[in-house]
Amino acid sequence: MLTDLLKPTTSSPARRRVTVGEVVFGGPAVPVIAGPCAVEPGYVEHALAMRAAGASMLRGSVFKPRTRPDAFQGMGEEGLVLVEKARALTGRPVLVEPLSVEHVELLTGRVDAFMIGARSMQNTPLLRAAGRSGLPVVLKRGMAATYDEWLAAADYVLSEDNPNVILCERGIRTFETATRNTLDVSAVPVLRERTPLPVIVDPSHGTGIWSLVTPMALAAVAAGADGLLIEVHPSPEHALSDGPQQLRPATFADLMARLKPVAEAVGRAL
């Protein structure tokens, strides 16, 4: 309730730590999950570059929820083989998005965490299946979802006895057309007052424009975000999805360098 939000808070809920492999969300460190929008050929080499630039974890989307049915839908199982290779070679955990209950079954045992995308936030059978898998779940905010609706979706996962939910703000639909979405940075402090769950931010989908990703990543960490999700492509102009918002590896390395003092200024580390 908004009225509850307006009450002065004496203390925020204790933070919950969610661990993916050896990566801890909700602790003193701010892990950065990086990788291309979609897994494409060359993913394994790219994953090594992500690790070298400081990524704690890899994005590995092989099923893409595209607006148009004639757009690239992801490499599917062929891409999953590349994700498994990258995971083994880099030692970094991988985050993969299932679009259906069948995908949850296919991916269980082969990935480290599930991402429930914005379009799926209210797909309750999918939320329950991801919850039952026991794997950590990164739950993105639906593009028109209120905080209450988002937290109710998180409850579907939690109610399957899975406490490992990470909330991810990825921008909401507003009247503004200059950016793809409007990144709601205030979600970070609001949710910190309302839930113990870690809150991470995706400035790539949150803005849709690569040059805005670094400033909004810095803002998110300054606001207390428990992690970041960043799209990075070796050659964004040739990307099969979301080219305009993907960083080049060198720009991502620069983001990581600029993030360090911001994290330290708010008592966190990278």
The helix/strand/coil state of 113 is: strand
Among 117, 131, 208, 236, binds ligand PEP (CB under 6 A): 117
**Alpha-carbon span 201 to 171, nearest angstrom:** 9
Quick check: 65 binds ligand PEP (CB under 6 A)?
A: yes
**Alpha-carbon span 97 to 126, nearest angstrom:** 11
Q: Which does 31 bind (CB under 5 to 8 A by kind): ligand PEP, Mn ion, none?
A: none
**Alpha-carbon span 139 to 127, nearest angstrom:** 9
Quick check: 205 binds ligand PEP (CB under 6 A)?
A: yes
Q: Give 226's DSSP letter.
A: S
**Residues whose CB falls within 8 Å of the CB of residue 216, separated by 6 or more in sequence, listed in order:** 183, 185, 201, 203, 206, 207
Let me know: does 201 contact 225? Beta carbons within 8 Å. Answer: yes
Nearest to ligand PEP of 30, 62 (CB atom) = 62
Nearest to ligand PEP of 37, 57 (CB atom) = 37
Range 5-44, binding ligand PEP (CB under 6 A) = 37
Let me know: does 44 contact 82? Beta carbons within 8 Å. Answer: yes
Q: What is the contact mask toward Mn ion in residues 207 to 246, using x (rule: CB under 5 A)? A: -----------------------------------x----
**Residues whose CB falls within 8 Å of the CB of residue 7, separated by 6 or more in sequence, listed in order:** none
Q: Which does 170 bind (CB under 5 to 8 A by kind): Mn ion, ligand PEP, none?
A: ligand PEP
Among 51, 87, 140, 180, binds ligand PEP (CB under 6 A): 140
Q: Which does 140 bind (CB under 5 to 8 A by kind): ligand PEP, Mn ion, none?
A: ligand PEP
Nearest to ligand PEP of 113, 268 (CB atom) = 113
Taking the complex as a whole, the smallest distance from the CB of residue 261 to ligand PEP amounts, in Å, to 27
Nearest to ligand PEP of 65, 91 (CB atom) = 65
The bridge status of strand 32-35 relative to strand 137-140 is unpaired
Give the residue among 142, 148, 227, 155 at the shortest CA–CA distance from 191. Answer: 148
Nearest to Mn ion of 139, 151 (CB atom) = 139
Nearest to ligand PEP of 66, 132 (CB atom) = 66
> Rg of the chain over CA atoms, in angstroms?
17
Among 20, 23, 34, 37, binds Mn ion (CB under 5 A): 37
Find tokens 């630039």 and name the residue: 53
**Alpha-carbon span 80 to 60, nearest angstrom:** 8
Q: Which does 246 bind (CB under 5 to 8 A by kind): Mn ion, ligand PEP, none?
A: none
Q: Which does 65 bind (CB under 5 to 8 A by kind): ligand PEP, Mn ion, none?
A: ligand PEP
Which one of 10-18, 31-39, 84-92, 250-258 is the stretch in contact with Mn ion (CB under 5 A)?
Answer: 31-39
**Alpha-carbon span 220 to 213, nearest angstrom:** 10
**Residues whose CB falls within 8 Å of the CB of residue 257, separated by 6 or more in sequence, listed in order:** none
Provide the binding-site residues for ligand PEP, judged by CB under 6 A. Answer: 37, 61, 65, 97, 117-119, 140, 170, 205
